[in-house]
Every structure is written in structure tokens, then in C-alpha cells.
A and B are shown apart, each in its own frame.
Chain A
């Protein structure tokens, strides 16, 4: 019974990691860009949702209903993601040629991560804050097991969104244009694809996914801090690598696996060493199968 509960807990945590892993894998697969601002957007959306919905003395304490606060949190993260696109990916590409081949956008995205974290700390301090939904009982009970509703909702939403995303990538004109950019940006231009106008779409989608994940994380664990992005980033990156870079369904499976490994490791060996199995697994995968479980032969490009 105990391990059944842990299986559920692992899958629930994994559902949120899967969201973030999908955001990572989209920018890697499309743009060959490891975007470290994803955890910052995750945290930003959760903190904005808390600040707007809570009442108190802090800035922007508007006491908005949770859904309005969450909608604004998502919008803020999407706008921030567009700003990031403008000043990491696009600026560096325009000034230094194919910057995706270099570490420049990665390093500048790390810079954004730290700036966002500290901007949030300056605004609202670094204390953990309570973020709760107004419903009374947030858990489903059956056969002695407990399933959190926000957890369940985030897992379902992650799978639905990835299903919609992969359908759009396969069937729609903009999806084909995105895959063309992922495979060969120069040839995509020759098809009449305005690459500079399509790339921000990737950032809007990753901003939305990261924000949804952050808010669902906050509601699931009832707590947000300016540091939740850091914690989730490494787990989600491990999930992405497990599933194969650029593979959206792989990212879902990878995220779920990492969630399970974390929960079982903590229950078996205690919370102190939870990072070791996750990072150990990441290193092991990189050594024995760097394309991940579902990745194809080439790393990082054109996997849809």
C-alpha cells in the first residue's frame, strides 16, 4: 500500500516535471537552444499568482480570485518569454551569426534566470509563501490511497497539451514551418517562412508551458518561493535527456520517470540524497545512450 501511494506521488510530481521537460525539449528541438529561463518563468508565474491572489502588505496584493491571478501569471510569463527571445536568441543570432551553434544564448539565458530570481526576491522577499486553492478538500481518496486533485489535473493537462502540440506540429501549416526551421532554417526561408516571425511562437509556447507548470506546482504543494525554479530545472532537464532531446512524448515519459525515481529514492534513503539518483541516472544515460530512450540517431534536431 505504501509503495502504491509512492507510485502515485511519483507520477504526480512527474506530471509537473513533464511539463517543464516539454518546454525544454521544444526549444532544444526547434532552436538547438538550452533555454535556462524556463525555470525562471516557472517561478515567476507561480510568484505572480501568489502575489495577486493573496491579501497582505506585499506589493500587488490585490486579493484577486485564484483563476484571475493565474491567468495574469501566465500572461506575464509569456510576455517575459518574448523579451527573453528578443535579447538572448534573436539579438545574439543577428549580431554573431548562427549563435545557436555557440554557448552565447545559453549563457545569456542563465543571466536572465538569475535576474528574474533576484527581481522577485527584491519585490516579495525570499520567504516561502502559501498558495492555496479555495476548495476545501483537495484530495481524492480511494482504497486508502490519496491523489491530489491539482496533481491529477496537471498530469492530465500536460498529456493533453502535448497531444495538441504534436498534432499541430504534424498537421498545421505553422507546425510544418516550425519543423522546417528545426531541420534546416535556410531551406525554410526559401519556402517563404519568415523565420524571425515564427521563432517567437516557440517562446510563447514554452512560456505558457513553464507558467502552467509553475502555477500547478504551487497549487499542488501549497507553497511557492523564488527558488522553486532551480529545484525543478535539473529534474526536468534529466527528464528531457531521458526521453531524448527534442522528443515531446519522450519528455513526458522522462519527466514521469524522474518523478518516480525521486519519490522512491527519498522514501528509501531519505531526502538528503535525492539528487544523487537523479543526477546519477542523467550521467548514466549520457554515457550509455545519449540520444535518450526515444531519441533517434541525430542529437538535438528535427525529432517531430
Chain B
């Protein structure tokens, strides 16, 4: 198992954001975590990344217990997050954003960054411009590209489709599938449930911090209650 979460609890003061969550992500998988606003999806990702502390439970990555590692150390070992709202550095150039993605790398990343530019020609054209000139879709591409330069084993994406037009959402999910086919394991938090279930191998449904259901996309979509609550189908 590449990434295993065991009985994880996250507390913000009295707010119990995640309760006894367990989750597995195997090599080559796309796993999605679904749920309404405030269900604890983002808190779960932040706890896995190490930017919020665990109240209980363990995070195992490549077989090692990384629960006490700093977030930065997790990045260096291949557990990389594309955060909600992109969080690109708008005061820096596109190229500097990519170089920051390679911050933990000690080897030469020039060839990989060139390959990124080939995959994302829009970014190549704006290479030396401040990232603030990018459109929303381009910013999301830069956020994914920046995470790729870190050479992740697991990429976590927090609401990547937020604020994108339907065409861009489609392109983004094609990219996610493409990356997955080239061997990247992906943990995807989404409110766009239909798109997420279309690409995922398995999914978990959170409600008020608790897992209420898990299974294959087919199993999750056939559940009537879930369909009513999250899939926008009456």
C-alpha cells in the first residue's frame, strides 16, 4: 500500500473535523473523497500533508510511519499537494513557480521542466511573465505542473475544478487521467462528484468528518441516498 491512513482524527479546538478516518491509496490508483462543504475533506488532506496536526491516528507512506514528519519532509519524499485555490506565487514568474516546485530536488530538473513546457505550451509562452497574468485555467495548470516538478509518488488535489469553466474542467480531468496512466497515484477531493467518480477507481464519502460510505464508482453511484445527497440526481 502506497498511502495508508489509520483511524485519523483532526481537531480544531472543539471542532472535530475528521473522525476515525481510514483510507488506502494503492500505486496506480485514483481515489476520490467526496462530501458536502464542511464534511472534513480538506482537513483530511491537510492532515495527510502534515500542515495540520493529527489528534489521533497514523499516516503510513511507502510503508513508513510519517505521522511526525514535517510537511516539507513529506513533500521531499514524494507526497505532494495541489492546494485549494491553486496558491501559486503570483508575484513570481511562471518559471520561478516551477523552480519552487523543484525546491526539494537536489538533482538537475532542467530537462523535466522543459518536458513540462512541452506538455503545457500556454505556460511556456508566459515563462518569464508574472504568474498573476495567467487565466484561472492556466493557474490551475501551473499549480499541477509545479507539483509535478517535485516528482511525486502521490499527488493530492484539493478541489482542483473549483471556479473553472466546463471545458477547462474536462481538460483538467483528462490531465488527471493522463498523469495517472503514467504511474502517478492520485488522491482527489472534489465537489464535482460526477467528474470525480468518472475518473476514480474507488471513492470515500464523508459526512461531518465521518466516512459514511466507500466503494467503486459504480457502487457509490447506485446508492440512492448518496445520489440524492451528492450527485445532484433526485
Contact = CB atoms under 8 A, between A and B. Distances in A.
Contacts of B49: 190
Nearest to A296: B91
A189 interface: yes
B28 interface: no
A190 B75 contact: yes
A143 interface: no
A134 interface: no
A177 B103 contact: yes
Contact of B72 (A173, A179, A193, A302): A193
B96 interface: yes
Contacts of B76: 192
A139 interface: no
Contact of B71 (A177, A180, A190): A190
Interface string B149-160: 010000000000
Interface string B73-95: 10110001101000111111000
Nearest to B147: A190
Nearest to A302: B91
B129 to A, nearest CB: 16
Interface string B56-72: 00000000000000111
A191 B149 CA distance: 10
Given A189-B51, A190-B49, A190-B83, A176 B71 contact: no
A188 B72 CA distance: 9
A187 B100 CA distance: 10
A191 B71 CA distance: 9
- Among B51, B70, B91, B96, the one with the most A-chain Cβ atoms within 10 Å of its Cβ is B91
Nearest to B150: A192
If over half of A's interface residues share one DSSP class (helix, strand or loop), that class is named, otherwise mixed; here it is helix
B101 A191 contact: yes
A186 B70 CA distance: 13
Contact of B150 (A177, A180, A191, A194): A191
A186 B99 CA distance: 17
B51 A190 contact: yes
A252 to B, nearest CB: 21
B103 A193 contact: yes
Contacts of B90: 183
Q: How large is the interface on A (under 10, 10 to 19, 20 to 34, 35 or more residues)?
A: 10 to 19
Given A190-B83, A191-B150, A176 B96 contact: yes
Contacts of B81: 190
A189 B83 CA distance: 11
Contacts of B51: 186, 189-190
A200 to B, nearest CB: 15
Max chain B C-beta neighbours (<10 A), residue from A176, A177, A192, A194: A192
Contacts of A195: 72
A76 B84 CA distance: 44
A267 interface: no
Contacts of B180: none
Nearest to B92: A179
B53 to A, nearest CB: 12
A55 interface: no
A5 interface: no
Interface in A172-207: 173, 176-177, 179-180, 183-184, 186-195
B96 to A, nearest CB: 6
Given A176-B96, A193-B72, A186 B103 contact: no
A194 B83 contact: no
Given A190-B51, A192-B76, A193-B72, A184 B103 contact: no
Contact of B91 (A179, A186, A188, A194): A179
A195 B87 CA distance: 16
A188 B87 CA distance: 9
B104 interface: yes
A29 to B, nearest CB: 11
Interface string A239-268: 000000000000000000000000000000
16 contacts: A173-B103, A179-B89, A179-B91, A179-B92, A180-B89, A183-B92, A186-B87, A187-B83, A189-B51, A189-B72, A190-B75, A190-B81, A190-B83, A191-B100, A191-B101, A191-B150
Q: Which 4 pairs, one residue from A and one from B, show the smallest C-beta to C-beta distance?
A: A192-B75, A192-B104, A187-B87, A302-B91
Given A186-B51, A190-B83, 15 more contacts: A173-B99, A176-B92, A177-B100, A179-B89, A183-B92, A184-B89, A187-B83, A189-B51, A190-B71, A190-B75, A191-B75, A192-B75, A192-B104, A193-B103, A194-B70
Interface of A: 173, 176-177, 179-180, 183-184, 186-195, 302
Interface of B: 49, 51, 70-73, 75-76, 80-81, 83, 87-92, 96, 99-101, 103-104, 146, 150
